[in-house]
Structure 1
Amino acid sequence: MASSSSNATQVPLSFSVPSLKEASRLDSDRNDEEKEEIDWENLGFTLTKTDYMYVMKCSRDGNFKDGKLSRHGNIELSPHSGVLNYGQGIFEGLKAYRSAKGSIHLFRPEENAKRMQIGAERMCMPAPSVDQFLDAVKQTVLANKRWVPPHGKGSLYIRPLLMGSGATLALTPAPEYMFLVCVVPVGHFFKEGMEPINLLIEDEIPRASLGGIGDVKAIGNYAPVFMAQKRAKSKGFSDALYIDSVNKRYLEEASVSNLFIVKDGVISTPTKGTILPGVTRKSIMELAHNIGYQVCERLVSIDDLREADEVFCTGTAVVVSPVSSITYQGHRYSYRTGEETVSKKLYTALTSIQTGLVEDNNGWTVKID
């Protein structure tokens, strides 16, 4: 069960324009203490407490309803909740951007809604409908629109979370579920900012296994990478890059991003199955194809890394991040970076759409104010 403080402001959910107008009104209804200036120049990828969050619960009939905006704060969970005891939870990550003209855009939010539904089915959970997901995201962004950075200064990271909130002792799906949406203003994910990153191949700790939940954005997928990340960063690398758990020679993905390699103008990315089907990954593949590149989804081996011209990572958090080098068992492989690379062209094409600098001919952006 979710709880809010006694002075919480709550707004009932309704699928109508007035509900979005009410959410937008909340953004300006703040006390003087909340109107301090925000340092947009020094945003990192860290937590900042914003004003409102969205909470919706699942009824006994398996349907979500009665969603509400409330002041951002802690929630209450039973110590026997399914999410705490058995990891029954999934999350999404998407962003809101402020265009050069000042309007606020979401990028392909329906893809995140659909992916959450697919993940929920795998984890034996009910899920909000696509319309409920989109409405919740829009309300949360509008209620926190002062936290959307100015154009070119960052983005508003949106975290929808679906979890088994009901108590259960037996190893069974939870009897009740909760859907939350919170937001945080963010800058660059990696400390390097826009500079190329360096990866270390992790050959001892697998991220996922065939038939598991590597292709689901389940909360249980992420804590297991902490050790690999820690080891990589202690050696000066930006992140760990994982290989398959069976053959230990096929690349999968990094801790929070998908992987692409470029050889002789052909773009390749590891095939799905044990990797997360990223929304940014999908978008980059479609953009590259539209620009005229050949794009292959296939098994990508360590041998392919040795021959690659370029390597880059993609994800909601990292956007498109060029890779300067990858190290495997003491051998360091370096790649081309800079303004004339494929990754830079794709980064520019993607972010120009996301921030409204060019016309969106794909229908990917959703203007919400």
Structure 2
Amino acid sequence: METAAVLSNTATVAGRRLVRDTGGLLLRHPANKKLRNQLRFTPVNAPTTYRSVIARAVEVDSSLSVPSETVDLNWDNLGFGLVHTDYMYVMKCSLGESFTKGELVPFGNIEINPSAGVLNYGQGLFEGLKAYRKEDGNVLLFRPEENAKRMIAGSERMCMPSPSVDQFMQAVKATVLANERWIPPPGKGSLYIRPLLMGSGSVLGLAPAPEYTFLVYVSPVGNYFKEGLSPINLVVETEMHRATPGGTGGVKTIGNYAAVLKAQGAAKAKGYSDVLYLDSTHKKYLEEVSSCNIFVVKGNTISTPDIKGTILPGITRKSIIDVARDQGFEVFEKPVTVDELLDADEVFCTGTAVVVSPVGSITYLGKRVAYGSSGVGLVSQQLYSGLTRLQMGLADDKMGWIVELK
């Protein structure tokens, strides 16, 4: 557990001396009462942790106000696509320096040089997490500090400066609260949060960009499965590979995702839902699906490929492992072979968007293996219910994973 850094910068609101957070944000425009009232302030030197229900003071360096009008959306038909919201968060820094001050700005297009590092050399990372609304009006984040830590790890691999955990947290909180009216009602979906880190400075020769932009935007999304859990059908890819040892498969860089589109498109054209990749060395060990981690169930044992540099350390993956162990399953992170996959009782994938996605069948070298006859396996259903109830605040948070914003 980390303690939020306390800087010397302070301000006074309603007679209280308040800490300026490490992202340089304090809510200071008086017209923005709704956003200000939703943030509890931390006095100087008061202990603050990321798992606390206290959201530290956030400064919005503008005179923007949060709209109070009701959003005109059909929440029952909300899909998993982009909906333009009110605000996004932007913070910049130069190479060799640290991020210091960010601001909320109206959501919209950004201006970028054609020679920007992100456009020419793919110097970019992204994260994905969700905010949920409870019946009592509270707003919940699920393990956002894990996303912050993963971005820091990825930025080191991609030679980029990164916001600190505290800066990341404050940026996410500010963006969510500024767009609170876009959070779906309980049970109707969530507010998907997309933090981006990119080399925005211009560079012609191959080198790290001279300037970097951290940006957070949000979009309301519906439940991934409209009619409950729905099994997917995967095909094992034996020729193309998502990642190689020593590469960037273990970090959430933008280039990892374009690389899967060709194999994924070919698979979908043949009627499959997605592609399951094998290791590039032996071509017999499971790695991951295009954007999901994979789990194999046999009896009371659950196995998932171990993290070794070519597999993204998914936060949902990590959470499912803990939930499964808490429910009495034996969980192993180890090399998993295709033979183990084909002999499994049940298979499922995990990711931020789907949480848990049961696998109905696997096709390998033309041979199709189906799992179960009732559609969704009992283990998949049990783990999906266990984790989503935690995320939505319907179950006791014994793990200390939930951050409350109100």
Q: What's the TM-score, normalizing by structure 1?
A: 0.91
Contact 1:166 1:175 in 2 (8 A): yes
| CA distance in structure 2 between the partners assigned to 1:214 and 1:101 by the alignment | 40
1:259 CA drift (Å): 0.2
| CA distance in structure 1 between the partners assigned to 2:151 and 2:37 by the alignment | 24
CA 1:60 to 1:295, structure 2 compared with 1: closer, same or farther past 3 Å?
closer
Equivalent residue for 1:29? 67
Unaligned runs of 5+ in 2: 1-20, 40-63
Equivalent residue for 2:117? 82
| CA distance in structure 2 between the partners assigned to 1:44 and 1:366 by the alignment | 25
Equivalent residue for 2:378? 341
1:277-320 Cα deviation digits (max 9, x unpaired) = 00000000011112211000011111011110000000101111
Contact 1:100 1:357 in 2 (8 A): no
Q: Which of these residues, 59, 76, 89, is aligned with residue 54 of structure 1?
A: 89
Q: Is 1:112–2:178 an aligned residue pair?
A: no
**Most deviating of 335-344 and 350-359:** 335-344
> Which SS does the other structure have where 1:320 is aligned?
strand
Equivalent residue for 1:6? none
CA-based RMSD of the aligned residues comes to: 2.1
Contact 2:79 2:223 in 1 (8 A): yes
Q: Is 1:201–2:233 an aligned residue pair?
A: no
AA in 2 matched with 1:199: L
Equivalent residue for 1:358? 395
Equivalent residue for 1:145? 180
- The higher radius of gyration belongs to 2
| CA distance in structure 1 between the partners assigned to 2:93 and 2:250 by the alignment | 25
> Which SS does the other structure have where 2:295 is aligned?
strand
1:23 CA drift (Å): 9.4
Equivalent residue for 2:354? 318
AA in 2 matched with 1:366: V
AA in 2 matched with 1:21: L
> Which SS does the other structure have where 2:396 is aligned?
coil
AA in 2 matched with 1:236: G
1:24 CA drift (Å): 5.9
Equivalent residue for 1:287? 323
| CA distance in structure 1 between the partners assigned to 2:205 and 2:301 by the alignment | 51
| CA distance in structure 2 between the partners assigned to 1:217 and 1:296 by the alignment | 23
Contact 1:23 1:139 in 2 (8 A): no
**Most deviating of 15-24 and 53-62:** 15-24
AA in 2 matched with 1:117: I
Equivalent residue for 1:302? 338
| CA distance in structure 2 between the partners assigned to 1:309 and 1:66 by the alignment | 52
1:181 CA drift (Å): 0.2
Q: Is 1:327–2:341 an aligned residue pair?
A: no
1:213 CA drift (Å): 0.6
> Which SS does the other structure have where 2:79 is aligned?
coil
Q: What's the TM-score, normalizing by structure 2?
A: 0.83
> Which SS does the other structure have where 1:64 is aligned?
coil
| CA distance in structure 1 between the partners assigned to 2:27 and 2:398 by the alignment | 25
Q: Which of these residues, 237, 240, 251, is aligned with residue 272 of structure 2?
A: 237
CA 1:278 to 1:18, structure 2 compared with 1: closer, same or farther past 3 Å?
farther
Unaligned runs of 5+ in 1: 1-11
1:9-35 Cα deviation digits (max 9, x unpaired) = xxx9645576993496967426x7xx4
Q: Which of these residues, 42, 50, 61, is aligned with residue 77 of structure 2?
A: 42
Equivalent residue for 1:69? 104
| CA distance in structure 1 between the partners assigned to 2:148 and 2:319 by the alignment | 16
CA 1:245 to 1:189, structure 2 compared with 1: closer, same or farther past 3 Å?
farther
- Identity within the alignment, %: 59
1:50-76 Cα deviation digits (max 9, x unpaired) = 111000001455110220001000111
| CA distance in structure 1 between the partners assigned to 2:366 and 2:245 by the alignment | 27
- Higher normalized helix content (fraction of residues): 1
CA 1:190 to 1:240, structure 2 compared with 1: closer, same or farther past 3 Å?
farther
Equivalent runs, 1:148-227 vs 2, <5 Å? 148-189=183-224, 194-227=229-262
| CA distance in structure 2 between the partners assigned to 1:205 and 1:232 by the alignment | 12
| CA distance in structure 1 between the partners assigned to 2:339 and 2:384 by the alignment | 26
| CA distance in structure 1 between the partners assigned to 2:280 and 2:98 by the alignment | 38
Contact 2:66 2:179 in 1 (8 A): no
1:42 CA drift (Å): 1.2
| CA distance in structure 1 between the partners assigned to 2:238 and 2:199 by the alignment | 33
AA in 2 matched with 1:317: A
1:256 CA drift (Å): 1.1
